[in-house]
Structures are given as structure tokens and as C-alpha cells.
Amino acid sequence: MKKSIKLFTILLAAGILLAVIIFLSRNAPQNQPTKQEKLKIAYFKEMVGAPYFVAKESGIFEKNDLDVELIEVEAKQVLNELITGRADITIGVSWPSIIGMEIENPGLLKGFGSGGETIDGEVVEGILAREDSDMKNLMDLKGKTIAGDNARNNLALEMVFKKIGLNPSEDVKIIEIGKDIIGQALATKQVDAIFVLQPSLTVIKKMGVKILDTNIRAKNIIDPYWSGVLGVTTAKFASENNGAIEKLFSALDEAVKYIRANPGKAKLISSEYTSLPEDIASKAGIYFFASPKEYIDFEKAQIVVSSFVEAGILKESVDVKNVFLLP
């Protein structure tokens, strides 16, 4: 009898315990799927958008619970897409673009991440001369005419020449020639050398030229030479959509790491968005990107921005760090 009571007690306790476990499991809060954030990102046909192209095509955005629509626009209109609300984010722009907007409308926009060139990184820009030229290095440009394709690039040329001991107003003649015809100007001997960025450098190399030097801004001005930001949003959007921004930062961090590990694949993915032939895209150097979660040397970035102020391209100085949206 005692044994029966003891057995009954054990079975009863076991039954109660099982019932409690079942009850708790049925009433425990279930893991809810993370909310997917929708983002409209404006881009233009340049390799500066590589982290976004890679994140879209490799599924990184989706993995980070982002539903991203990439909207193609003209480069000169990209910030306007933000201001008018047609886009939430834009791919990277140069310092004159975002700092110029900060001067006119303080606090309106926020940049994040950065991009540029390094001494040891891929070839982003260079000075080219004709193959039959007797020039071998930058010092041989003394007394020569060299062309850049815009005012910002010509400013960089002036800074480089000063660094190596050439007077940009006396020892060399710097002129501006349009991007579409600068290669032809070199071939027809209108100029002795040209300063071009990718992908123009890779395209023009096929015309029978030689490279005098590459990544001259990083080598002679500052390394790394941060030339702009990785992306831009409005301060309003960032403050109202913290979750989406955090997911975007994580996605871009993953995309940047992908590019470093797989530069060839990243270039081919980007060719679909830049309209570059695969043979050109695969050979063109790609920017060194710093993701929004990585360290950026703001002192070096400030030096680059200050150079635009000194040259009159920007009308006043701005503390670069104040423009950034930090993680």
C-alpha cells in the first residue's frame, strides 16, 4: 500500500511538471521576425557606389532586414533627391558637394563612412604621358603642359607639384579639358600629360600611353587621401529612422569587407550599374572604402577639405566631424 501511494505521488508530480512545461512553452513569447526596413537609395553610374551595388546583388541588404530600392539619377542631382524626399540615402559624394551644402544649409545633411585612395591600395588615379615621351617621373613635367578634367583635380595637381618642389604657376602649365576628350588631347599632342581618375585611366591606357605615377594625392598630399563620404542622408531621416540606419551601417560594413576580400567580383557586380564593359571594370582600380563603423582620421579629412577652402572651391571652413553621422 505504501509503495502504491509513493508511486502514485511520483507519477502525479511528474504529470504536474509536464503540464507546467507544456503550459510555459505554449505561453512563452515567440521569437518574432525582425522588421524589414524599406530604403530608397539614389545612385549614379560610378564605382563609388560599389558597396551599395555589392550589398544589393549579394543579398547583404536582405540579410540585414533591408528592402532596398536603388534609384539611378544624374550625379549632379543626387543630393537633390534627398532634399526633395525622393530618396532616403545617396551613395558617396565628394567633399565640395556635402560641405558646400553644409555651408548653405547647416545641419541639413549627414555623411557617413568615407572613401579615397592609399599609397598601397589599388590604382585610383594617375598621370599619363604619351608612350614616345622621354618623361619618366613627375619632376620631368617641368616646363610641360598638363591637363586635368575638372577644377578639383587641378587643385590636387597644384598641391602635388608644390610638395615635390615644382611651382604650379611657373614651372608647369595646368589646364582643364573635358573628361570625354582629355585622352584625345594627349594623343594629338595638345598637352604633354594628363591627370585622370578611374575608369578613365584604364580606358586611356589602351591608347598607347605610359604612366608617370599613380595615387599621387596619397603619396604627396596625405595618406589616406579621403576624397569624400561613403553615403549621405538627411539629419531628419536619421533621427526618425534609427533602426534603418543601424541596419544600413551593418550592411555597408559587411559589403566593404566583401570588397576587400573579393575586389574582382565586386568590380564585375558594379559593372552592371556603371555600364562599364567587364574588361574595363575588372582592370580599373577601386576606391579604398571605410565603412560607417570603421575609424576615420578626421584630421586628415580636414586637411583635404581645407585645401578646397584655400583654393576658393569652398567659401569657408567647416568642422568635418560635425557633418558626420557616427555609429
Residue pLDDT, tens place only, 171-184: 999 999 999 999 99
Class of domain 37-118+225-323: alpha beta
pLDDT beyond 90 at 77: yes
Q: Is 288 exposed, middle or buried (0-12, 13-18, 19+ CB in 10 A)?
A: buried
Distances (CA, A) of 180 to 124, 185, 224, 295: 18, 10, 28, 36
Residue pLDDT, tens place only, 273-312: 999 999 999 999 999 999 999 999 999 999 999 999 988 8
pLDDT value for 72: 97
pLDDT confidence band for 30 (50 / 70 / 90): low
pLDDT value for 11: 46
pLDDT beyond 70 at 112: yes
pLDDT confidence band for 20 (50 / 70 / 90): very low
DSSP 87-116: -SEEE--BHHHHHHHHHHSTTSEEEESEEE
Report the C-alpha gap between 217 and 205 in whole angstroms. 20
- Measured from the Cβ of residue 317, the count of other Cβ atoms closer than 10 Å reads 14
* Domain spans of the chain, in order of start: 37-118+225-323, 125-214
Average pLDDT, the chain: 90
Q: What percent of the chain clears pLDDT 70, i.e. is strictly above it?
A: 90
Q: What is the mean pLDDT of residues 182-201?
A: 96
Comparing 32-36, 263-267, 302-306, which segment has the lowest mean pLDDT? 32-36
pLDDT value for 25: 52
pTM metric for this prediction: 0.86
DSSP 241-310: -HHHHHHHHHHHHHHHHHHHH-HHHHHHHHHHHH---HHHHTTS--PEEE-TTS---HHHHHHHHHHHHH
pLDDT value for 105: 95
Beta-strand pair 37-43/66-72: parallel
Residue pLDDT, tens place only, 309-322: 988 899 999 999 99
pLDDT beyond 50 at 12: no
State which fold the 125-214 domain adopts.
Answer: D-Maltodextrin-Binding Protein; domain 2 (3.40.190)
pLDDT value for 7: 46
Residue pLDDT, tens place only, 198-253: 999 999 998 889 999 999 999 999 999 999 999 999 999 999 999 999 999 999 99
